[in-house]
């Protein structure tokens, strides 16, 4: 919940001009101060999970599942830590875009040697959090993450972008149809690439193109009730992914 509050307050000040990559600096807001500082010092935020990654046990009785994503994944791990037991590893970072996730994919996914990775990405690309992006650029970054995973013998779950009829930090931006279009691509690409598609969008959608009432705190970020709706979708996707043969590893250590 704390991350939700920080994001809701800080990202609401995101500069709306074309090409903007910075959050309006508010010295009293820790999120905005740290975001702007990292743009020039640790753009993909590799430091966020460095110590946690090093501390992970190398072996487990359970297959390791890594959840790569943005604040929706980050909040899931903080709001419902019991879901992330039995070697389920949350690697979400609030506000992140696919180029940032791709940059940290080796450190926060490949090097953890999971059986499965779930990739949930695209919300902040649509918002332009690190600058304007075309759908094709987002798709290219997702394809690169999938290809890296498969080359390292990791099964992939591609998560839909959850529904959102507006982004509080980008007033006036049309979001719903862009999310629908990207989800259509994700579902089709998952089928072509041998990935499992996790359809959180359908599970969470209310009337129109927004999230169902009571399942989000701000039209974007799920509440605990929202994550309870998402959990069965995740469980099915994990079961389906683990039933697949591991991709043939082609990467050289």
- Would residue 144 count as lying in a domain? yes
pLDDT at 171 over 50: yes
What total number of domains does the chain contain?
A: 1
Q: Model's pTM, two decimal places?
A: 0.89
Label the pairing between strands 65-69 and 116-119.
Answer: parallel
Residue 179 belongs to some domain of the structure: yes
Q: Residue 251: inside a domain, yes or no?
A: no
Confirm whether 9 is domain-assigned: yes
Q: Is residue 92 part of a domain?
A: yes
Is residue 147 included in any domain, yes or no?
Answer: yes
Mean residue pLDDT of the chain comes to 90
pLDDT tier at 25, thresholds 50, 70, 90? low
Residue span of the structural domain in which 153 resides? 2-243
**Position 250 in a domain:** no
Percent of the chain surpassing pLDDT 90: 81
CATH code, 28: 3.40.50.1110
Least confident stretch, 53-67, 94-108, 140-154: 53-67
Query: What band does 59 get if pLDDT is binned at 50, 70 and 90?
Result: confident
Q: Which of these, 137, 166, 36, 152, lies nearest to 105 by C-alpha position?
A: 152
pLDDT-based confidence at residue 36 (cuts at 50, 70, 90): confident
State how far the alpha carbon of 215 is from the alpha carbons of 95, 121, 131, 224, in Å. Answer: 20, 19, 29, 8
Q: Is residue 7 over pLDDT 70?
A: no
Q: Looking at 26-30, 70-74, 146-150, 189-193, which range is the least confident one?
A: 26-30
């Amino acid at each position: 919940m704390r991350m939700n509050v920080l994001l809701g307050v800080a990202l609401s000040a995101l500069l709306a001009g074309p090409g903007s990559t910075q959050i309006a600096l508010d010295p009293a807001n820790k999120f905005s101060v740290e975001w702007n500082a990292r743009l020039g010092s640790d753009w993909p935020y590799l430091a966020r999970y460095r110590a946690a990654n090093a501390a992970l046990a190398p072996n487990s009785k359970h297959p390791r599942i890594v959840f790569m994503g943005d604040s929706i994944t980050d909040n899931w791990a903080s709001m419902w830590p019991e879901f992330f037991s039995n070697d389920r590893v949350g690697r979400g970072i609030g506000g992140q875009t696919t180029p940032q996730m791709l940059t940290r994919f080796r450190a926060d996914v490949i090097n953890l040697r999971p059986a499965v990775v779930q990739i949930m990405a695209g919300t902040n690309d649509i918002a332009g959090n690190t600058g304007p992006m075309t759908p094709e650029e987002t798709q290219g970054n997702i394809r690169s993450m999938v290809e890296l995973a498969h080359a390292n013998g990791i099964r992939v779950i591609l998560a839909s972008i959850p529904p959102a009829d507006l982004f509080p930090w980008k007033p006036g931006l049309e979001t719903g149809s862009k999310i629908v279009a990207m989800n259509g691509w994700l579902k089709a690409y998952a089928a072509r690439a041998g990935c499992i598609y996790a359809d959180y969008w359908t599970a969470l959608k209310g009337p129109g193109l927004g999230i169902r009432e009571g399942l989000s705190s701000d039209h974007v970020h799920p509440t605990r009730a929202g994550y309870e709706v998402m959990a069965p979708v995740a469980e099915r996707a994990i079961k389906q992914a683990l039933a697949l043969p591991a991709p043939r590893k082609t990467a050289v250590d």
